[in-house]
């Protein structure tokens, strides 16, 4: 083995050690990146209800029934909130968490149609915008520059849950802010005091909530509107394709009603379902059976929503006239303020004035983590705090590599200089 190779050996050792240290640091960093990924979703905790509009028992978190002997309990859905009511008597015959504020998803579009449709001519023409065509979530297919009637937009809103048509209807009344004001006024008129509105589509938005009780009020009102009631039971609709002509020659494509209970349960009369990943599944459904009208509402169901809603309606078909009420759906204009155990009677509290609900009402514990300020200095789960021991160990490894790697290099350098000095001395003695 040559001396030059031996002199370079410590450098090779140093390089290998440094590479190993770098790999260790990189691997640790990768592992930490994996550890720092979003934590498992925590169990959702429903926020507290503040209202007992419709009856003091309705603020309870328990399943509410008042059943005579021989009447079985209703099939309770796997959902945060639900109710079933007789629309003719306006009596709630079974319920749970009906005033708990929850993200409504597209069920909010019932409020959109109630508030905006009365002020618009069904034949009024609207030209699609870039914002309509590119809105998040479900779209019916509005194309920028293409023209549509209000009737087209309402069918797209209630049948196919188009967020593009919701945005378009808002534009027709002066924009999102103007639409929201109309929707808030409608909620106040109906007595839907749990509802806080932020947009026309129901897309998740901070503070936007409704309740099973409020959705029942809105659904009941929609059934009284001839135009909306007809749309809600329309199985399919030929929505206009791209173009400006409104004539018969314009191409159209079939859109389907999202209400899967149509045709599966006798006498279904509406109304609207919704889903987002944060709000989970919700549904407002109504049906007429033997001359009696019933409504069922489910909010935040983790899984199927049409089957349990249908089960509630079928239970009401059999036992609705035997069950005793646990509360009632107030009539439009009956109250002008929310009532509840912590609300002074003299205080008028509208939906728009109500304090924003718990952030958890928006859809889950991840929303709480996003909304509350986090302290990087005290959070034991902070990735930087978990990373520093690995970084410190890597730094010590690099220091050791430098110490044990450079020392042989320096020693070899001294020996090499000594050899050169002896060689010069030998040459000098031979010369003289």
Instruction: List pLDDT tens digits, range 56-76.
Output: 999 999 999 999 999 999 999
Domain match, 269 and 393 both: no
Residue 51 lies in a domain: no
Q: What mean pLDDT is predicted for residues 410-419?
A: 60
Residue 186: give its domain's CATH number: 3.40.710.10
Residue 78 lies in a domain: yes
Domain match, 186 and 325 both: yes
Active-site residue, 286 included: no
Instruction: List pLDDT tens digits, range 89-100.
Output: 999 999 999 999
Residue 392 lies in a domain: yes
Q: Is the Cα dihedral 120, 122, 123, 128 positive or negative?
A: positive
Q: How confident is the model at residue 343 (pLDDT cuts 50, 70, 90)?
A: confident
Residue 88 lies in a domain: yes
Domain match, 266 and 197 both: yes
Residue among 60, 146, 160, 161 flagged as catalytic: 161
Which one of 325, 349, 371 terminates a domain? 371
Nearest to 55 by CA among 399, 406, 314, 330: 330
Domain match, 278 and 389 both: no
Average pLDDT, the chain: 82
Domain match, 219 and 118 both: yes
Which one of 323, 351, 371 terminates a domain? 371
Domain match, 252 and 385 both: no
Domain match, 75 and 170 both: yes
CA 188 centroid distance within chain? 24
Contact 357, 193 (CB under 8 A): no
Name the residue with higher pLDDT: 251 or 23: 251
**Known binding-site positions:** 272
Domain count, the chain: 2
Which one of 332, 350, 371 terminates a domain? 371
Q: How confident is the model at residue 206 (pLDDT cuts 50, 70, 90)?
A: very high
Active-site residue, 160 included: no
Residue 298 lies in a domain: yes
Domain match, 365 and 396 both: no
Q: Above 90 in pLDDT, residue 33?
A: no
Active-site residue, 51 included: no
Q: How confident is the model at residue 303 (pLDDT cuts 50, 70, 90)?
A: confident
Q: Is the Cα dihedral 5, 11, 15, 17 positive or negative?
A: positive
Residue 47 lies in a domain: no
Domain match, 282 and 305 both: yes
Residue among 51, 60, 96, 106 flagged as catalytic: 106
Range of the domain at 153: 56-371
pTM reported for the whole predicted model: 0.74
What percent of the chain is modeled with pLDDT above 70?
70
How high is the pLDDT of residue 27?
45
Domain match, 136 and 178 both: yes
Residue 341 lies in a domain: yes
Residue among 51, 60, 96, 109 flagged as catalytic: 109
Residue 49 lies in a domain: no
Q: What is the DSSP letter of 247?
A: S
Domain match, 328 and 416 both: no
**Known binding-site positions for substrate:** 272
d(CA 284, CA 83): 10
Nearest to 122 by CA among 230, 49, 197: 230
Domain match, 21 and 151 both: no
């Amino acid at each position: 083995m040559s001396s030059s190779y031996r002199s370079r050996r410590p450098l090779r050792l140093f390089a290998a050690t440094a590479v190993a240290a770098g790999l260790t640091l990189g691997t640790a960093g990768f592992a930490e990146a994996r550890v720092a990924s979003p934590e498992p979703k925590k169990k959702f905790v429903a926020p507290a209800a503040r209202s007992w509009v419709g009856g003091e028992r309705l603020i309870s978190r328990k399943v509410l029934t008042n059943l005579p002997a021989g009447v079985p309990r209703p099939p309770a859905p796997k959902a945060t909130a639900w109710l079933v009511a007789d629309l003719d008597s306006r009596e709630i015959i079974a319920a749970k968490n009906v005033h708990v504020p929850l993200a409504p998803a597209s069920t909010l579009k019932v409020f959109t149609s109630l508030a905006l449709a009365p002020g618009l001519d069904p034949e009024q023409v609207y030209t699609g915008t870039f914002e309509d065509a590119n809105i998040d979530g479900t779209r019916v297919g509005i194309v920028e520059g293409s023209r549509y009637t209000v009737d087209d937009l309402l069918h797209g809103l209630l049948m196919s849950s188009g967020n593009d048509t919701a945005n378009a209807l808002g534009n027709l009344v002066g924009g999102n802010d103007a639409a929201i004001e109309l929707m808030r006024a409608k909620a106040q008129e109906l007595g839907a005091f749990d509802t806080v509105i932020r947009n026309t589509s129901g897309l998740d938005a901070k503070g936007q909530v409704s309740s099973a009780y409020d959705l029942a009020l809105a659904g009941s009102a929609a059934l009284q509107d001839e135009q909306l009631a007809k749309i809600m039971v329309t199985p399919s609709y030929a929505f206009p394709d791209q173009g400006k002509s409104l004539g018969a020659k314009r191409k159209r494509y079939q859109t389907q009603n999202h209400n899967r209970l149509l045709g599966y349960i006798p006498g279904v009369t509406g109304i609207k379902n919704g889903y987002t990943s944060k709000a989970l599944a919700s549904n407002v459904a109504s049906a007429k059976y033997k001359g009696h009208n019933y409504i069922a509402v489910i909010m935040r169901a983790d899984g199927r929503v049409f089957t349990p809603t249908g089960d509630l309606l079928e239970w009401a078909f059999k036992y609705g006239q035997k069950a005793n009420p646990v509360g009632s759906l107030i009539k439009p204009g009956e109250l002008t303020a929310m009532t509840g155990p912590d609300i002074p009677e003299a205080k008028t509290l509208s939906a728009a004035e109500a304090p924003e609900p718990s952030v958890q009402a928006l859809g889950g514990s991840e929303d709480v983590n996003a909304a509350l300020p986090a302290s990087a200095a005290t959070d034991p789960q902070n990735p930087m705090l978990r990373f520093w021991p690995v970084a410190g160990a890597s730094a010590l490894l690099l220091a050791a590599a430098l110490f044990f790697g450079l020392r042989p290099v320096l020693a070899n350098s001294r020996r090499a200089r000594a050899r050169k000095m002896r060689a010069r001395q030998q040459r000098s003695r031979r010369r003289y």
